[in-house]
Amino acid sequence: ITANALQGFGGRVTIDTQAIFGTQFRDRLTPESDITATSELGPQFSGTVTINTPDVDAAAGLVELPDNVPDQSNQINVGCAATRGNSFTITGRGGLPESPTTPLRGRAIWRDVRNAAIATPTANTSSKKSHPPVQLVEATGWIVNNLGQVELVANLPMRTNVNPELNCNNLQRIR
């Protein structure tokens, strides 16, 4: 805030505020965010800056803190460490459930976006044996097979491999 003069008296700045932070009166213009009321004719021609703040005891609202701060490190949950760049991302509606025991939600609908105008080549079907079509069944869950691969399944087995006692901290001890 400036009220500076070149050939006369500096101006008058009056500020009524609850508090003022990060700025102060300066006797000359600076690149900082400050308040000036100066004159190039000299300090005897400077203006006035008045900052009115209420008389408040700053220490009145303070609370005394304890001298010994308890160790809070046991209050912080340590997540599983990322290993070798693997990641699992839940991207929103549909897709995989957030947990292996949670069923899939919603309905995913397949929309064929291929151009129907493009002709598909016809094959000689007279020499092929006719097989009954395989019925497609929508997956309702997933399991990990004996090879460690994830398989989508229509019916989950009745047993579950989820151990409620197993968490990230116990997992690190097992390794």
Is residue 21 within 8 Å of 15, Cβ to Cβ?
A: no
124 domain residue, yes or no:
no
pLDDT at 155: 77
111 domain residue, yes or no:
no
161 domain residue, yes or no:
yes
166 domain residue, yes or no:
yes
Residue 174 in this model has a pLDDT that exceeds 60: no
Rg (CA), the chain: 38
pLDDT tens digits for range 57-91: 767 777 787 788 878 777 766 565 656 566 666 66
pLDDT at 20: 79
23 domain residue, yes or no:
yes
Domain with 162, as residue range(s), is 98-105+136-175
Residue type for 165, please? E
Pull the structure tokens for residue 131: 């097989």
Percent of the chain past pLDDT 70, that is, above it, reads 57
- Total of domains in the chain: 2
Distance CA 24, CA 36 (A): 9
Between 43 and 57, the more confident residue is 43
91 domain residue, yes or no:
no
Q: What is the pTM of this model?
A: 0.31
35 domain residue, yes or no:
yes
29 domain residue, yes or no:
yes
